[in-house]
Amino acid sequence: MRPARGPPCAGRRGNCKLSLDHAAKAGDFDTRMKPLIGISCCVKPFGVFGTPNHAASESYVRVALGPVGGIPVLLPAAGEALVPEILPRLDGLILTGSRSNVRPDHYEGPPHAEGTPEDHARDATTLPLIRAAIAAGLPLLAICRGFQELNVALGGSLDQRIQDLPGRLDHSTPADQRFARVRVAKAHSVRLVPESPIAQLAGGVVDLPVNSLHNQGIARLAPRLIAEGWAPDGTVEAVRVRDARGFALGVQWHPEYDWESDPVSRSLFEAFGKACQAWADRRTHRAAAE
């Protein structure tokens, strides 16, 4: 019986060093790093004791691994102190949807109706994170609650129950979302600004059907945001950040639910992923130069 062979260079330090050096010089290893995609978490009770957990829907993890082409990094709702520690390590930021709502005192609004879900820890994390990400030029994609957070973080306000306002559609989320078709069904169309970034991703379409599910929406648009899509009742459903240093878009609907079947949703995430990869490449080159 032949003895088991060890590593090719076992006991031969000189040769092993030459082999490793040669491999690196020959480019045998792919040194391009996939972008790290921060995904905002909510605080939710879990288990029989209702232990607080920091969580995000699997749909955001899957989309980060899929069309975005990155590595998902779940960001705990740990408060403003997290921001300077985590931001330099990220290559992109997804602000997720949630059943909870931004606390009204962040935009000088009236108190929520009793029973309205809030997430104070998430607000304390995402609002300063948004401002820091935009200042840095970090690629950012805001979805549903994240879309509303983007508006509030930059000085805008929210309507708390759109369905109660005169002349407005009922955009509210059904209580039962067990059936997938509830999440992916097109609730209404969005009128896009021609030649806007999202209209370009939609192939020039300016009337885009979307799966929009939300109770709250933009009331006063933040000064730094430009509205680029509206529901039939005038509700703002798509924005971009004015004079942004990088990719910075927000949508009120849920592209993370239907990117496997909807080409516009996929294109949105692919464009975001391309911006994140470019950021990651620059970050890698800076680190190598230091």
122 part of a folded domain: yes
154 part of a folded domain: yes
Task: Specify whether 54 is catalytic.
Answer: no
Number of domains making up the chain: 1
Task: Specify whether 106 is catalytic.
Answer: no
Per residue in 41-74, pLDDT tens?
A: 999 989 999 999 999 999 999 999 999 999 999 9
27 part of a folded domain: no
Is residue 114 predicted with pLDDT exceeding 50?
yes
15 part of a folded domain: no
Q: What is the CATH number of the domain that holds 281?
A: 3.40.50.880
Cα atoms found within 13 Å of the Cα of residue 72, Cβ hemisphere only: 21
Question: What is the band of 131 on the pLDDT scale with cuts at 50, 70, 90?
Answer: very high
Q: Report the distance separating Cα 87 and Cα 167, nearest Å.
A: 41
**What value does the mean pLDDT take over residues 1-14?**
45
4 part of a folded domain: no
Is residue 157 predicted with pLDDT exceeding 60?
yes
Query: Among the options 42, 144, 149, 276, which is catalytic?
Result: 144
Query: Among the options 149, 214, 256, 276, which is catalytic?
Result: 256
28 part of a folded domain: no
3 part of a folded domain: no
Q: Report the distance separating Cα 127 and Cα 265, nearest Å.
A: 25
Question: What is the band of 290 on the pLDDT scale with cuts at 50, 70, 90?
Answer: confident
DSSP string, 129-191: HHHHHHHHT--EEEETHHHHHHHHHTT--EES-GGGSTT----PPPS---SHHHHHS--EEEE
Q: What are the backbone angles phi and psi of residue 153, rounded to the nearest 5°?
A: -60, -30
Q: Which residue segment(s) compose the domain that 48 sits in?
A: 33-173+180-289
CA distances from 121 to 45, 93, 154, 224 (A): 13, 18, 18, 25
pLDDT in the model for residue 172: 61
Task: Specify whether 112 is catalytic.
Answer: no
**What value does the mean pLDDT take over residues 234-247?**
96
218 part of a folded domain: yes
pTM: 0.85
Candidate ranges 12-16, 98-102, 180-184; pick with highest mean pLDDT: 98-102
Eight-class DSSP state of 101: B
Q: Report the distance separating Cα 133 and Cα 139, nearest Å.
A: 8
User: Sign of dihedral through CA atoms 193, 150, 182, 113?
Assistant: negative
Q: Report the distance separating Cα 66 and Cα 268, nearest Å.
A: 12
